[in-house]
């Protein structure tokens, strides 16, 4: 979206020079009034002193102080005249009003929210954001930040902190909506996903980048920008957490059993091959089957097997 922000090009002078002029003007006004009070002076028109006094009262309104990574939106009777970003002490037209904003990066850690993933499972998910103001014109005039910063009335005095809290409130609402959208695009974990599909638990950086992109799409109109977005909390909703935990435990047990069986088969095969190659004993198919059965029981059992000594013949 095209920006309407531009740099302030109006007159601005060094504030210390303007301060010296202000002090000199006050001194001259006082001297003029003292001079007019002298009865020996024939010239008794106080107009220059009055004009000087009025100027001395009006000129201080034009003083502006700006710290690094701060900006002022300049308005001349309601018309946007640009954004002033030069740090330091300056003097500008006293009839120009300014609205100060911060350009510094800020953190936002909203509360965890309950959403449904791609498969419909209710989950609890949270995020943490790093954001900053990017376009002062959009932030001040495209969204109603003044009313929000003034507590809804729009007439209360608005400070920089109130204005930034209003921007933060706008981001929080949009971030919740974006997080719900992203969470609905992916399954919670691999058990619910199609093979090779990205999930919320395994996505990591990719999911965070998608979340950041969705957030910035929503914030384009506001002039605010998310620099970093990360999912910092992810869990099943309490009402299904116990069931899902049992499912995960079952999946872990099955996976472990698969490894145990795979290892046991390998060891049984190695034992039979060793007995055959070294000629320790000749076994027929029935004895091999019995030996395989016994070895599988020993290797796959949860408890230690009780040994039985065979003192008779194998045949």
* Between 9 and 259, residue with greater pLDDT: 9
Give the model's pLDDT for residue 152.
Answer: 58
Condensed to tens digits (0 to 9), the pLDDT of residues 105-157 reads 999 998 899 998 888 888 899 999 999 999 999 999 888 877 777 665 555 56
Q: Which CATH number fits domain 106-236: 1.10.10.10, 3.30.479.30, 3.40.605.10, 3.10.129.10?
A: 3.30.479.30
Q: Is the pLDDT of residue 18 over 80?
A: yes
Residue 43 CA: distances (Å) to CA of 38, 46, 52, 124, 196: 10, 9, 17, 84, 96
Give the model's pLDDT for residue 193.
Answer: 56
Paired strand residues for 75: 80, 97
The 10 Å CB-count burial string (b at 16+, else e) for 234-256 is: bebeeeeeeebeeeeeeeeeeee
Give the model's pLDDT for residue 244.
Answer: 66
Give the model's pLDDT for residue 303.
Answer: 62
Domains in the chain: boundaries: 12-99, 106-236, 242-300
- List the one residue out of 239, 242, 236, 216 whose CA is nearest residue 228: 216
Give the model's pLDDT for residue 28.
Answer: 82
| Number of C-beta neighbours around residue 203 at 10 A | 18
Regarding pTM above 0.85, the answer is no
Condensed to tens digits (0 to 9), the pLDDT of residues 170-204 reads 999 999 999 999 988 888 877 665 666 788 888 78
Condensed to tens digits (0 to 9), the pLDDT of residues 267-290 reads 878 877 777 777 666 776 777 777
């Amino acid at each position: 979206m095209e920006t309407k922000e531009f740099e302030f090009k109006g007159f601005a002078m060094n504030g210390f020079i303007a301060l010296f002029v202000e002090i000199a003007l006050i001194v001259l006004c006082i001297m003029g009034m003292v001079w007019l009070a002298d009865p020996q002076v024939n010239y008794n028109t106080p107009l220059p002193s009055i004009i000087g006094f009025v100027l001395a009262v009006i000129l201080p309104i034009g003083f502006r102080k700006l710290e690094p990574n701060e900006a002022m939106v300049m308005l001349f009777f309601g018309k946007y005249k640009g954004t002033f970003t030069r740090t330091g002490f300056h003097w500008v037209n006293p009839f120009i009003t300014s609205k100060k904003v911060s350009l510094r990066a800020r953190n936002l850690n909203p509360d965890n929210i309950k959403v449904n993933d791609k498969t419909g499972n209710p989950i609890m998910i949270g995020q943490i954001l790093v954001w900053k103001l990017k376009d002062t014109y959009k932030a001040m005039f495209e969204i109603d930040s003044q009313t929000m910063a003034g507590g809804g009335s729009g007439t209360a005095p608005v400070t920089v902190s109130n204005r930034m809290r209003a921007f933060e409130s706008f981001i929080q609402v949009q971030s919740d909506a974006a997080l719900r959208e992203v969470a609905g695009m992916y399954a919670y974990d691999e058990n619910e996903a199609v093979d090779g599909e990205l999930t919320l638990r395994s996505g990591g950086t990719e999911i965070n980048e998608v979340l950041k992109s969705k957030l910035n799409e929503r914030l384009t109109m506001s002039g605010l920008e998310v620099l970093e977005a990360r999912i910092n909390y992810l869990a099943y909703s309490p009402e299904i957490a116990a069931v899902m935990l049992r499912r995960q435990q079952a999946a872990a047990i099955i996976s472990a059993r698969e490894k145990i069986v795979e290892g046991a088969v390998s060891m049984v095969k190695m034992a039979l091959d060793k007995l055959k190659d070294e000629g320790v004993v000749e076994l027929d198919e029935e004895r091999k089957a019995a030996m395989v059965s016994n070895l599988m029981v020993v290797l796959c059992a949860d408890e230690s097997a009780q040994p039985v000594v065979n003192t008779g013949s194998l045949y």
